[in-house]
Copies of this chain bind each other. A is one copy, B any other.
C-alpha cells in the first residue's frame, strides 16, 4: 500500500492528485497491468480523505483509460505497455541480429521472407519500366484509396474480380492497416476481443487506443467459441482481431466450420471481424484450402487486412484493406489523417510486378523453398527435442510454436537468455499475451531466416539447453 501514499498540494483537487499519482505508478510499472487497486475504503483511510474522493479519483482513472471497473470485484489497473524492460532487451538483440549488426547468430525470430529470396533484379527492372512509362506521375500523390491500377490488379489477380476495386484501400503494410482500422472503429474503453495468444504489434495498437481487451483461447482449429460466446453474452464487443491462417504465434488455422460459426456470431452480437491474412500464400499441407473469412462473409462483417511486405519485400511497405462498405469512407479518412497516401512509385511498381506475372511465379518458388525447410524443421524438432517440448504442425507459414514440457523446470525467458549466450535467438511466448505470465512456458521458432544447416545446429543447441 505504501506506494499509494502521496503528499497533497493545496491548489489542485485531491481526487485529481490521487488519480495523477496512480497514473504515474502505472506508467512506471509500479502498479502492474491487471493489478487490483486498493479498495475505496482502504485507500481513503490511508490517505485520510473522504471515500467520495477515492470514488472520483478512480472514475478519473477510468475516464483516462488507466483503470477498468469490474462489477462486484473492484477496480483494476490498465497499463499501456507490458514487459517494458524485457521488451527493450529483446528488441535490442532482435534489431542487432535482424539488422545484420552482429554476425554468426542463428536467428529464429524471423517473421518475413529472407533477403536471399528477394527478386531484386526483376523488381529493379520493373521500377525502371514504371519510371520510363509514368515519369513525374510516379511521384505525385495518389488519391487516398491508392493507385487505381494496383487496386484493379488486386481485384483481378487475388479476388477473381469478386470484390469492388473502389472498396480496396492501399496501406503501408498490415501494421498500418490495423492502426487505421483501430482509429476508425475503436474508441477509449471500447471492448475488443483477440486470440490468446496473439500478435503483439496488434495488441499494442489496441492498448494505444485504450480499449478493453478480452482474450479468447486458441484451439487447434481456431478460437474456443464456447468461451467466446460467454464473453459476448456479458460484454458488448466491437471488434474481433483474427489471423485466419497459421496464426501468429500458435500456427493454428481456422476450420471452415469455425469461420462460419464466428461469422454468425458477428451478425448475432453485432461485432466486426478484423482478419489479418498474413501468410496464407505458404500452404504446405495439401489438406488446407484457402478460404478467407472475407470470402465467406455474406453480412459485410469482415475488415480484411493483407500485407505484401511480409511475404514479398519488407522494405516496400505495402498492403491493403477491404472494409465493409459502411466503413469505407471512415477508413479512407483515417488513412488520410494517418499519412495521406502510400508511396506512389512503389504502388505502380507492385502493380506492374503482379500484372506481368512475376508475383505468381515468385510465390511458387518461395513456397517450394520454404516447404523444404518446414519439413526438415518439423522432423528435426520431433527427432531431436522429442518429449522436451509439445507442438502442433501448422501445415504452412514460417514458424513453429513450442511449449516447454512441464517436466522441465525452465521458463521461456530463461531459455531465451541461455540461447542468447549460445548465439541462438528465439522469441519467448510472453510477448504474445496480455498478461505475460500466461506465455511463460512457450516459445516461437521461425525458420524464415535459417537455412537447413542453421536449423539443425540451432535445434541441437536448444536441446542441450533444455536438458
Within 8 Å CB of A124, what residues of B?
Answer: 128, 131
Within 8 Å CB of A138, what residues of B?
Answer: 120, 315
B112 touches A136 (CB 8 A): no
B116 touches A339 (CB 8 A): no
Size of A's binding interface in residues, CB under 8 A: 61
A337 touches B140 (CB 8 A): no
Contact for A337 among B201, B339, B340, CB less than 8 A:
B201
Within 8 Å CB of A81, what residues of B?
Answer: 333
Question: Could you pull out 9 A-B pairs where Cβ atoms are within 8 angstroms?
Answer: A59-B59, A64-B189, A98-B141, A120-B131, A140-B314, A172-B317, A173-B339, A179-B337, A205-B337
Interface members, chain A 21-71 (any B CB < 8 Å): 59, 62-65
The distance from the CB of A345 to the nearest CB of chain B, in whole angstroms, is: 6
**Sample of 7 more A-B contacts, CB < 8 Å, known A63-B63, A140-B314, A338-B338:** A65-B188, A115-B140, A175-B339, A179-B339, A204-B333, A314-B344, A316-B345
Q: How far is the CA of A116 from the CA of B136 in the complex (A)?
A: 7
Within 8 Å CB of A175, what residues of B?
Answer: 336-340
Within 8 Å CB of A135, what residues of B?
Answer: 120
Most chain B beta carbons < 10 A, residue from A140, A176, A334: A140
Q: Does A466 lie at the interface of the complex (its beta carbon under 8 Å from any beta carbon of B)?
A: no
A341 touches B316 (CB 8 A): no
| Overall SS of chain A's interface | helix
B99 touches A143 (CB 8 A): yes
Within 8 Å CB of A120, what residues of B?
Answer: 131, 135-136, 138-139
Q: Does A187 lie at the interface of the complex (its beta carbon under 8 Å from any beta carbon of B)?
A: yes
A210 touches B183 (CB 8 A): no
Within 8 Å CB of A136, what residues of B?
Answer: 115-116, 118, 120
Q: Does A342 lie at the interface of the complex (its beta carbon under 8 Å from any beta carbon of B)?
A: yes
Instruction: Mark contacts of A204-239 with chain B using CB atoms, 8 A cut-off: 1 yes-contact digit, 0 otherwise.
Output: 110010100000000000000000000000000000
Within 8 Å CB of A208, what residues of B?
Answer: 183, 334, 337
A64 touches B188 (CB 8 A): yes
The distance from the CB of A298 to the nearest CB of chain B, in whole angstroms, is: 26
**A314-B127 contact in complex given A338-B338, A339-B172, C-beta closer than 8 Å:** no
Q: How far is the CA of A124 from the CA of B127 in the complex (A)?
A: 9
B337 touches A143 (CB 8 A): no
Q: Does A137 lie at the interface of the complex (its beta carbon under 8 Å from any beta carbon of B)?
A: yes
Instruction: Mark contacts of A312-346 with chain B using CB atoms, 8 A cut-off: 1 yes-contact digit, 0 otherwise.
Output: 01111100000000000000011011111111111
Q: How far is the CA of A81 from the CA of B332 in the complex (A)?
A: 14
Contact for A140 among B137, B176, B189, B315, CB less than 8 A:
B315
Contact for A346 among B64, B118, B334, B343, CB less than 8 A:
B343
Interface members, chain A 60-101 (any B CB < 8 Å): 62-65, 81, 95, 98-100
Interface members, chain A 123-177 (any B CB < 8 Å): 123-124, 127-128, 131, 135-143, 172-173, 175-176
Within 8 Å CB of A183, what residues of B?
Answer: 208
Residue in chain B with minimal CB distance to A184: B208
A338 touches B137 (CB 8 A): no
Within 8 Å CB of A210, what residues of B?
Answer: 187-188
B128 touches A141 (CB 8 A): no
